[in-house]
Amino acid sequence: MTDRNPSSQDRDPTYGWVMVFAVFLLSALAFGALGSISVFLKPLAAEFGWSRGQTSLGYTVISFSSALFGILWGYIADRRGTRWFGLVAAFAMSGSLFALSQQNSIWQFYGLYFLFGAFGNAMVTSPLFANVGFWFTHKPGLALGVTASGGAMGQAVVPYLCALCLDLYGWQNTYMIIAVGYLALAVPVALLIRESPTREQSRQQSVSETRTFPLSEREVISWISCAIIFCCVCMAVPIVHLVPLLTDTGYTLEQATSVLMVLMLSGVMGRVLGGKLGDMIGALPSYMVMSGGQTLSVIWFPFLDSTLSLYLVAVLFGFTYSGVMSAILVCTRMMVSVNYAARAMSITSFFGWFGMGAGGFMGGYLFDLTGNYETSFVGAMLVGCVNLTIVTLFALRIRRQSSPDLASVSS
């Protein structure tokens, strides 16, 4: 049992919470730009004559580039640290957004979002989350949950602000405004990034951590990666297509983005409590609970005919989908060693971003085929069931390999 009153020698460094703040804000900016693609989707399609599938492929591009480069940054982070990751990402994110204001072709659209994902989003998510996780030995789930809630906060606030700017200034000026805002916010915060003392010491002294988890690191990451593909396909459909769905059914752009904002604000609490739940009942049970809620709620969005029910389902989906994100981070933090953490989180994120990209495109492609979003959201629910099946098999595998005294750890 963890000591409730740790000695001063054992207490987590106070600077760990500075790192939580810094990565919270940087991930809010990164995820906020991803979420805002749904707001730009219809204006850009109208401006250039692109289909929904073509435009939503921008989300797929940013997801895939985040996946590919995330593995590279994870490898570098485990060997060299993450001291300058935030600063590189700050300039990459703001520069890409400014260049998007000048785009005039679909290939420029894809290319600039590729750069945003590769040198922005990929650098401020998994490698920095791994860094934060090892600042804390007491209740790391809560710290990671608060950190990860930045992504939900960004997806709530940035798309809503973009919608307001779109109505007033058009899509080009909106991209310029958010580029300047990102630069002003991200650069000072990026200078706060420091490496976890635990990871720094382990890397410099080449110390191997003794693991008690019953499965190998490779097997753990294989199971999580398989599950997360389907989990993220499920969650990506409403993230990318909820705003277009609502505006198609008569809601104004401001009303539609307000629903997305409520969904994401609920997600802020979902990520915090998802991390805390991992500390209380175990990381994998927390993942299963949150995945079940996400899968049950996603199907209802195209079939709701009242504003109240729409907001209620948005709250439920936002809370559970975001809780899944925290639970994944806690699973990885608790199941792998300190020297493998950034690579582990980057590998699982690779498959997560693959799923996000595939889900975003799937929603648009099925819309183009059928002319409505019902099939897209039903498909999201079915894919979510596959995720739950894989996670259940993973839990059974851990139980079979665990001795009784390790059962609680494996959970």
**Predicted confidence band of residue 6 (pLDDT cuts 50, 70, 90):** very low
* Angle of helix 140-190 versus helix 253-281 axis, rounded to 10: 130
d(C-alpha 344, C-alpha 65), whole Å: 17
- Mean pLDDT for 89-117 is 94
Higher pLDDT, 12 or 264: 264
Kindly state the tokens that stand for 224: 């999580």
pLDDT value for 403: 57
Contact 29, 186 (CB under 8 A): yes
Q: Is the pLDDT of residue 119 over 70?
A: yes
Query: What's the whole-number mean pLDDT along residues 80-95?
Result: 92
What are the phi and psi torsion angles at 334 (to 5°)? -90, -15
Compute the average pLDDT of residues 2-25.
73
What is the tens place of the pLDDT at every residue in 133-152?
888 877 777 888 888 888 88
Distance CA 100, CA 123 (A): 20
Question: In which band, very low, low, confident or very high, does the pLDDT at 26 lie, cut at 50, 70 and 90?
Answer: very high
Question: How much of the chain, in percent, has pLDDT values that exceed 70?
Answer: 93
204 found inside a domain? no
Amino acid at 322: S
Tell me the C-alpha distance between 185 and 407, whole Å: 44
CA proximity to 74, closest of 291, 324, 349: 349
Confidence of residue 407 (pLDDT cuts 50, 70, 90): very low
Report pLDDT for 113. 93
Average pLDDT rounded to a whole number, residues 356-366: 87
**Taking the complete model, does pTM exceed 0.85, yes or no?**
no
Residue 168, sorted as left (phi over 0), alpha (psi -120 to 50) or beta, turns out to be alpha
Question: Is the predicted pLDDT of residue 25 greater than 60, yes or no?
Answer: yes
Task: Share the mean pLDDT of the chain.
Answer: 86
Let me know if 96 is exposed, middle or buried by CB neighbors in 10 A (0-12, 13-18, 19+).
buried
- Asked if the structure places residue 205 within a domain, the reply is no
Q: Average pLDDT of 262-282?
A: 84
What pLDDT, on the 0 to 100 scale, is given for residue 385?
96
Condensed to tens digits (0 to 9), the pLDDT of residues 301-340 reads 999 888 899 999 999 999 998 888 888 888 887 888 777 7
Cα 202 from Cα 339, distance rounded (Å) = 7
Confirm whether 63 is domain-assigned. Answer: yes
406 band by pLDDT with thresholds 50, 70 and 90: very low
pLDDT score for 405: 46
Number of domains in the chain: 1
Residue-level pLDDT at 30: 93
Read off the CATH number of the domain in which 169 is found.
Answer: 1.20.1250.20
Range of the domain at 76: 15-199+213-402
pLDDT number for residue 225 = 92
Q: Are 271 and 149 in contact (CB under 8 A)?
A: yes
Q: Over the chain, what HEC string results? A: CCCCCCCCCCCCCCHHHHHHHHHHHHHHHHHHHHHHHHHHHHHHHHHHCCCHHHHHHHHHHHHHHHHHHHHHHHHHHHHHCCCCHHHHHHHHHHHHHHHHCCCCCHHHHHHHHHHHHHHHHHHHCHHHHHHHHCCCCCCHHHHHHHHHHHHHHHHHHHHHHHHHHHHHHHHHHHHHHHHHHHHHHHHHHHCCCCCCHHHHHHHHHCCCCCCCCCCCHHHHHHHHHHHHHHHHHHHHHHHHHHHHHHHHCCCCHHHHHHHHHHHHHHHHHHHHHHHHHHHHHCHHHHHHHHHHHHHHHHCCHHHCCCHHHHHHHHHHHHHHHHHHHHHHHHHHHHHCCHHHHHHHHHHHHHHHHHHHHHHHHHHHHHHHHHCCCHHHHHHHHHHHHHHHHHHHHHHHHHHHHCCHHHHHHHC
Least confident of 24-38, 136-150, 164-178, 284-298: 136-150
Task: Give every CB contact of residue 14 below 8 A, 6+ residues apart in sequence.
Answer: none
CA 350 to CA 341: how far, in whole Å?
A: 14
Cα–Cα distance measured from residue 319 to residue 271, given in angstroms and rounded to the nearest whole number: 7
Percent residues over pLDDT 90 in the chain: 39
**Does residue 330 sit within a domain?**
yes
Residue with more model confidence, 279 or 256: 256
Top pLDDT among 295 and 210 is at: 295
